[in-house]
Amino acid sequence: MDGSTGISGADLIKACSAIGAGLAVIAGIGPGVGQGIAAGYAASAVGRNPGAKGEITSTMLLGQAVAETTGLYGLLIAMLLLFVKPLLND
């Protein structure tokens, strides 16, 4: 290549950052599925033992909050890849 055709290094970094951000956002699928399953099991447990509703609900919400951090980390990585470009000088 003589340098007049093809993509530059900056273009390659931008393209890879966009692809990486898309892949990072996919990390939100896991917590969504997991939280849905947890809520379903919690509803089932409350149906079997209505007297333990408070304990079941608080345990479920704590577990869902911990699971949600995975999705938030994926979103954070995606935002960093899209808007923070430390390898580019422009």
Say whether pLDDT at 88 is over 70.
no
Which H or E run contains 76? helix 53-83
Q: What's the chain's Rg over C-alpha atoms?
A: 21
Q: Give 37-57 pLDDT, tens digit per residue.
A: 999 999 999 999 999 999 999
CATH classification of 25-83, choosing from 3.40.50.880, 1.20.20.10, 3.90.110.10, 1.25.40.420?
A: 1.20.20.10
Per-chain mean pLDDT for the chain: 86
- The pTM of the full predicted model, rounded to 2 decimals, is 0.71
Tokens 């599925």, residue? 33
Q: Give 57-66 pLDDT, tens digit per residue.
A: 999 999 899 9
Per-residue confidence (pLDDT) for residue 41, from 0 to 100: 93
